[in-house]
Amino acid sequence: MKETIIELEHKKETLQYMNNQWEKMPKDINRNQYLKRINEIIAKLKNQKQEIRGILDDIVTIQKDTDQLVGKISKIDTEVEDYIFNEAKKDKVAKEIYKEIVQLKEDFDKLTTNVQEQNKLRALVRENDTKSEDFRIKYRNGQEISKLITDLNGIKAENQQLEQEMKAKGIH
């Protein structure tokens, strides 16, 4: 019941806020102006949708090209590594070159892993920034949060009072 009451109070406050916003809006705007504005927005959205499709097509093309290039590089890398490995059996200089290549590959793999982790962390930071901004907008700079805290403290006080009454009556 308390949750329903709290939710109802929240909805009443939201209704009051929306009514205030409605009252602030100009009422003498022509319906045709609204329709014109809506049509402009729809046209912009369609253009953005086409641009997004174009960008996605470009991304797919780039991914395919990248995959092909990575395949070619892998093939060349394997051939070079095999050649130097075979030469390392015969020559000490080639053996040192082979060791350097192996070390270079390990370092490159570490670098790639670190860059991927950085990108994941950046994405998480952006996501958290977006969530916190949405949270700030949703709760109007903490006004509703402070009300929720006040309500929570009231409920805790009621719970303590009920506990004391139960203890006084000998109910556990």
Is the pLDDT at 105 greater than 90? The verdict is no
pLDDT bin (cut points 50, 70, 90) of residue 172 is low
Q: Is residue 136 part of a domain?
A: no
What percent of the chain has pLDDT above 90? 37
Q: What is the pLDDT of residue 168?
A: 86
Q: Is residue 103 part of a domain?
A: no
Domain that holds residue 80: 28-90
Amino acid at 134: D
Q: How far apart are CA 37 and CA 45, in angstroms?
A: 12
Q: Is residue 34 part of a domain?
A: yes
Q: What's the chain's average pLDDT? A: 86
pLDDT 10s digits, 41-84:
999 999 999 999 999 999 999 999 999 999 998 899 888 888 88
Phi, psi of 128, rounded to the nearest 5 degrees: -65, -40
105 or 26: whose pLDDT is higher? 105
User: How far from each other are the two terminal CA atoms of the chain, in whole angstroms?
Assistant: 23
Q: Is residue 134 part of a domain?
A: no
Percent helix, strand and coil across the chain, each to the nearest 5: 90, 0, 10
Nearest to 2, CA basis, from 160, 108, 167, 154: 154
Please tell me the pTM assigned to this model: 0.42
Q: Is residue 67 part of a domain?
A: yes
Q: Is residue 47 part of a domain?
A: yes
pLDDT 10s digits, 32-42:
777 888 899 99
How many domains does the structure of the chain reveal? 1
The torsion of the CA quartet 128, 130, 133, 138, rounded to 10 degrees, works out to -100
pLDDT 10s digits, 92-103:
887 888 888 889
Q: Is residue 86 part of a domain?
A: yes
Q: Is residue 57 part of a domain?
A: yes
pLDDT 10s digits, 107-132:
988 998 999 999 999 999 999 888 88
